[in-house]
Chain A
Amino acid sequence: MPGPLPRAKSNVWWNRGWPYRVFLLRELSAVAVAVYIVLLLVLVSQVREGRGAFNDHLDLLESPLFWIIHAVILGFAQLHTSTWFRAVPKSMRVKLGGRVVPPEAMIFGMYALWVGASLVVLAAFLVEW
């Protein structure tokens, strides 16, 4: 008599649908962010090597390969940001006057801050230009 079927475990659970694939990409996005930090640190360290080395490094960064790398990182950074914005109201419950602040309001607030901060950076950039 075979008895109950034991529970099944699948190694391709992440391919069961978009929510699971997005979860995996969200986790991977942390790697992309880490890679960007390394690129940034290398850039900063080139400053110490003198103007020539720094300019060579900038030329390297303008190569098509690095454009692609940066575009991929930018995509992952957007995913990282938007998925974590969605996660924040789940990990903290904010109460105002005894009422729970709706998640949508919290998410909207974070997007507003993001857009605001981006505008400040853009303004600083344009002024420099």
Chain B
Amino acid sequence: MTTETMTDQRTVTLEVFRYHPDTDSEPSFQSYEVPYREEWVVLDALNWLKDEVDGTLSYRWSCRMGVCGSCGTMVNGYPRLTCNAFLREFLPGPIRVEPLRGFPVERDMVTVLDDFMEKLTDVKPYIIREEEQSLDEGEYRQSPSQLADYKQFSMCINCTLCYAACPVYEHEDDFLGPAVLALAQRYNLDSRDQGNEQRQQLIWADEGIWDCTFVGECSEVCPKDVDPAAAIQQAKVDATNNFFISFLPFTPPGMGR
């Protein structure tokens, strides 16, 4: 225990967003006192509330270790994974817990993810081969440098925190959004993939990379350092290069994509 985090505080107030689709016409906030423990994260406090105080409280979680990406929530107005947001960061409280911004709300902290899921499926986030290599030719080999091209963008856990940070996604219904574009770029940059052209139409459209105004907060809130803003800006550069190259009678070496 470090000195900064030592405190005599015994409880902390959680202001929790409540909305029940069957009975509420609008959302409200409910305050709860929860025990303060140095090692507790916001998710522990929510679990304690659900077990001890109010079993109707709804929120998503699974792994408790920043891997599954299901516990994304606004904590004091900032998109966080509740499983790595320690209560001690927010002392003396209160701590306001709300569903991620930019999504419809199913109930309490549970957001409707249909739009995100559809857009994610649309960009074909998997390796596409024009022709499969036969098994006896062995595996698709990749050098460390080829891996470095896309590795960062492959770390995404689909937590949608970046969507909650993005004012463009909030306002433009069709915008594909940071994580979807980063994942499209992740496969486009993979040396084993040949699906570039299939994804291009979608990601090089206005609703793809060009709606992005480069606010950059998606990359700041990302718990996995995916840097979706970088993926999008790099895709913009690729698209621009491609546009100019298309006027040339030949393809310059190293630019054939």
Q: Does B170 contact A (CB under 8 A)?
A: yes
- Contact B104–A4 (Cβ < 8 Å): yes
- Contact B19–A5 (Cβ < 8 Å): yes
- Contact A98–B220 (Cβ < 8 Å): no
By a CB distance below 8 angstroms, the chain A residues around B217 are 19-20, 23
- Contact B148–A100 (Cβ < 8 Å): yes
By a CB distance below 8 angstroms, the chain A residues around B214 are 87
Can you list the 6 inter-chain pairs with the closest CB atoms, starting with the nearest? A98-B145, A91-B233, A5-B105, A90-B230, A13-B167, A4-B104
By a CB distance below 8 angstroms, the chain A residues around B26 are 5
Beta-carbon contacts under 8 Å, A28-53 to B: none
B interface residues with partner A (beta carbon < 8 Å): 19, 21-22, 24-27, 77-78, 101-107, 112, 143-145, 148-149, 167, 170-171, 213-217, 219-220, 227, 229-230, 233-234, 236-237
With both chains docked as a complex, state the minimum distance between the C-beta of A77 and any C-beta of chain B, in angstroms: 19
- Contact A4–B167 (Cβ < 8 Å): no
- Contact B104–A7 (Cβ < 8 Å): yes
With both chains docked as a complex, state the minimum distance between the C-beta of A94 and any C-beta of chain B, in angstroms: 11
- Contact A4–B220 (Cβ < 8 Å): no
Q: Does A57 contact B (CB under 8 A)?
A: no
Identify the closest chain A residue to B215 (Cβ): A23
By a CB distance below 8 angstroms, the chain A residues around B101 are 8
- Contact A4–B233 (Cβ < 8 Å): no
With both chains docked as a complex, state the minimum distance between the C-beta of A105 and any C-beta of chain B, in angstroms: 15
- Contact A98–B144 (Cβ < 8 Å): yes
By a CB distance below 8 angstroms, the chain A residues around B104 are 4-7
Beta-carbon contacts under 8 Å, A83-108 to B: 87, 89-93, 95, 98-100
Identify the closest chain A residue to B110 (Cβ): A4
- Contact A91–B102 (Cβ < 8 Å): no
Q: Using an 8 Å CB-CB cutoff, how does the interface string of A52-92 with B read, 1 for contact, 0 for none? A: 00000000000000000000000000000000000101111
A interface residues with partner B (beta carbon < 8 Å): 1-10, 13-14, 16-17, 19-20, 23, 27, 87, 89-93, 95, 98-100
By a CB distance below 8 angstroms, the chain B residues around A1 are 21-22
- Contact A2–B21 (Cβ < 8 Å): yes
14 further contact pairs, Cβ within 8 A, besides A20-B167, A90-B229: A1-B22, A4-B104, A5-B21, A6-B104, A9-B171, A10-B170, A13-B167, A14-B167, A20-B215, A89-B230, A90-B230, A90-B234, A91-B236, A92-B237
- Contact A95–B148 (Cβ < 8 Å): yes
- Contact B233–A87 (Cβ < 8 Å): yes
The CA of A1 and the CA of B144, in the complex, are separated in Å by 55
Q: Which of A6, A7, A23, A92 contacts B234 (CB 8 A)?
A: A92
- Contact A4–B230 (Cβ < 8 Å): no
Q: Which of A2, A5, A16, A23 contacts B216 (CB 8 A)?
A: A23
With both chains docked as a complex, state the minimum distance between the C-beta of B244 and any C-beta of chain A, in angstroms: 16
In the complex, which of the residues A5, A90, A98 has the most CB atoms of chain B within 10 Å of its own CB atom? A5
The CA of A92 and the CA of B236, in the complex, are separated in Å by 10
With both chains docked as a complex, state the minimum distance between the C-beta of B27 and any C-beta of chain A, in angstroms: 6
- Contact A7–B148 (Cβ < 8 Å): no
By a CB distance below 8 angstroms, the chain A residues around B171 are 9, 13
In the complex, which of the residues A6, A13, A99, A100 has the most CB atoms of chain B within 10 Å of its own CB atom? A13
